[in-house]
C-alpha cells in the first residue's frame, strides 16, 4: 500500500511539473517613457500643463511681491505709526501671507488644480497607451509585460523581448520603414 501511495505521489508530482513546464509564461517589456514621447497628444498635454503651471507660478510670485512691498512700506513708515496702526498693518500682512499660502496649496498641493489638470490631460493618453499594450500582450500571448522605464530595475534585457515597437505600431505611430518580425 505504501508503494502505491509513493508511486501515486510521484506520478502526481510529475504531472504537475509537466503541466507547469508546458504552460511556461511568456513575458516581454516595453518602454512607456519612449512610447509616450512618440505620442503627439502627450506632448500637447505636457505643453498645456507647463503653460498653466508657469501662469500659476507667475500669479503666485506677483502675490508674494505685493506682500513684500507692503512689508517694505511698513518698515519705512513704522516710526510714524501708532502701535494700533502697526498691529493692524501686521495683521493685514499676515492675512495676505496666509491667503497666498492657501492659494498656492489650492493650486500645487496634493489634489490641487495642477494635479487635477495634469490627470485630466495625461490620463486619456496613458489609457490609450495601456490599451495598446494590452492588445499587443494578447496578440503576442504574453502573460507578463514589464515597463522598462518604471521603478523596475532591469539589469539586462534581451531585445527579443522588447515589445515597444509593437505598441507604437498598435497606436499607429510605428516607423513605416521598420519591419517587425515575429519572435
Quick: pLDDT tens for 40-56: 999 999 999 999 999 99
The answer to whether 39 touches 173, Cβ cutoff 8 Å, is: yes
Q: Give residue-wise pLDDT tens across range 122-134.
A: 999 999 998 898 8
Does pLDDT of 105 surpass 70?
yes
> Mean pLDDT across the stretch 97-117?
95
pLDDT band at 22 (very low <50, low <70, confident <90, very high): very low
Grid coordinates belonging to 56: 500659476
Q: Which of 33, 45, 179 is nearest to 125 (CA)?
A: 45
103 or 164: whose pLDDT is higher? 103
Domains located in the chain, CATH noted: 22-170 (3.30.910.20)
Amino acid at each position: 500500500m505504501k508503494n502505491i501511495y509513493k508511486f501515486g505521489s510521484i506520478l502526481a508530482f510529475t504531472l504537475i511539473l509537466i503541466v507547469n513546464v508546458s504552460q511556461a509564461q511568456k513575458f516581454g517589456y516595453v518602454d512607456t517613457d519612449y512610447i509616450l514621447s512618440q505620442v503627439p497628444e502627450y506632448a500637447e498635454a505636457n505643453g498645456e500643463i507647463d503653460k498653466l503651471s508657469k501662469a500659476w507660478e507667475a500669479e503666485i510670485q506677483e502675490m508674494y511681491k505685493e506682500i513684500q512691498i507692503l512689508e517694505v512700506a511698513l518698515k519705512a513708515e513704522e516710526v510714524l505709526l501708532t502701535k494700533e496702526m502697526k498691529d493692524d498693518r501686521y495683521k493685514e500682512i499676515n492675512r495676505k501671507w496666509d491667503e497666498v499660502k492657501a492659494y498656492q496649496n489650492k493650486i500645487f498641493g496634493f489634489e490641487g488644480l495642477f494635479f487635477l489638470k495634469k490627470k485630466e490631460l495625461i490620463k486619456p493618453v496613458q489609457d490609450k497607451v495601456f490599451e495598446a499594450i494590452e492588445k499587443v500582450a494578447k496578440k503576442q500571448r504574453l502573460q507578463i509585460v514589464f515597463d522598462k522605464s518604471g521603478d523596475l530595475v532591469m539589469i539586462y534585457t534581451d531585445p527579443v523581448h522588447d515589445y515597444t515597437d509593437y505598441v507604437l505600431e498598435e497606436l499607429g505611430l510605428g516607423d513605416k520603414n521598420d519591419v517587425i518580425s515575429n519572435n
